[in-house]
Amino acid sequence: MSNRRGAVKGAFLLAPLFLAILALHAWGDPMSAELGRAVGAWQYPERSHSIFQIRVPRWRDAAGLAAKELEDFTTRAVRDHGADLAIRHLEQPVKVVLLDPETPELKRFGWAAAETLKDYESLFDETNRTIFLKLERKVVRQDLAAAALHTAAARLLLHDAGATQGDPWLTEGLIGRLEGADPVALRNQTGELPTLQELLKAPRSDFQGILSAKYVRGAKLLTAYLMEQRKADFLTYYRAVRRPGTSPAAEIFKEKFFDTSLLEREWREWIRGPK
């Protein structure tokens, strides 16, 4: 029986792809792209949950989980951090796509941004205002799915607040803040941390590649330290970064925390402090 179900599922998955390939040969790229989007709409019907427009494969039941996690997380974030970080309730619709790993040729559906995602990885595509989450094949591990959705939702909220215009470390650190990252747990983790200067100058790629764990942890710890020990200065810096047309974020940081050598020492002492 399981083999039969697998065959049926495979037919649902592959038949639309074959149609798209035929369309490519018959009508060229524009018509193929339109057909690809139509196939995506059929395979991933939209289910509206408040402001979230959620697409899930017909054969999977995860829309309710995604809606609840996203609604609960954004509500908590506004309640806990709205005043400090100018986080507001969502006003514009947000697309959410929960991807089945067996869905081929995502670019045919207009979802090329999500092609490199691994199981339980998420992203927020600012261009299309879309949250993507890739599921695993057979089951949905709710803890992993929820954590990935929270990360993407945090990026969405910070984007809407204009807070992603600063340096990458600031975005990653604030994501940790919205997620409720525990500073004590972060301090107790082992492993090398970047220096303050390395963290401030790190490009976005350092937070995504082989060094990502090191830099993301450093960003979360620096943000936690500044919010705990230098909150007024940090929020002044944060508000300045959010203003369009201001100086580069690195210059603003140096202006607000002019003695970065002293800041580095104090930050390291705080990290080594009581666990």
The pLDDT tens digits for 219-275 are 999 999 999 999 999 999 999 888 776 667 778 888 888 788 999 999 999 999 865
Angle at which helices 260-272 and 212-229 cross, to 10°: 100
Closest to 235 in 3D by CA, of 133, 136, 163, 148: 163
Give ranges for CATH 3.30.2010 in the chain.
Answer: 44-160
> Of 10-24, 83-97, 256-270, which has the strongest mean pLDDT?
83-97
**Distance separating alpha carbons of residues 152 and 132, to the nearest angstrom:** 8
What pLDDT does residue 24 have?
Answer: 47
pLDDT (average), residues 87-100: 95
For the residues 146-161, what does the mean pLDDT come to? 97
pTM listed for this prediction? 0.83
- Beta-carbon contacts of 260 under 8 Å, excluding residues fewer than 6 positions away, are 196, 197, 200, 254
Q: Tell me: the pLDDT tens digits for 21-37? A: 544 444 445 555 555 55
pLDDT of residue 8: 46
Picking from 69-83, 171-185, 246-260, which range would have the lowest pLDDT averaged per residue? 246-260
pLDDT band at 62 (very low <50, low <70, confident <90, very high): confident
Highest mean pLDDT among 57-71, 85-99, 104-118, 244-258: 85-99
Determine the average pLDDT of the residues in 77-95. 96
Least confident span in 8-17, 66-75, 107-116, 203-212:
8-17
**Residue range 119-151, pLDDT digits in tens:** 999 999 999 999 999 998 877 899 999 999 999
For residue 25, what pLDDT is reported? 46
**Separation CA 3–CA 10 (nearest Å):** 10
Helix H, strand E, coil C: the string for the chain is: CHHHHHHHHHHHHHHHHHHHHHHHHHHCHHHHHHHHHHHHHHHCCEEEECCEEEECCCCCCCHHHHHHHHHHHHHHHHHHHHHHHCCCCCCCCEEEEEECCCCCCHHHHCCHHHCCCCCCCEEEECCCCEEEEECCCCCCCHHHHHHHHHHHHHHHHHHHCCHHHCCHHHHHHHHHHHHCCCHHHHHHCCCCCCCHHHHHHCCHHHHCCCCHHHHHHHHHHHHHHHHHHCHHHHHHHHHHHHCCCCCCHHHHHHHHCCCHHHHHHHHHHHHHCCC
Give mean pLDDT, residues 154-165: 93
What pLDDT is recorded for position 11? 46
The answer, yes or no, to whether residue 190 has pLDDT greater than 50, is yes
What phi and psi, each to the nearest 5 degrees, are found at residue 54? Answer: -100, 130
Whether the per-residue pLDDT at 56 is higher than 50: the answer is yes
Burial 255-264, CB ≥16 within 10 A → b, else e: ebbeeeeebb
Question: Which CATH fold would you assign to the domain 44-160?
Answer: Zincin-like (3.30.2010)
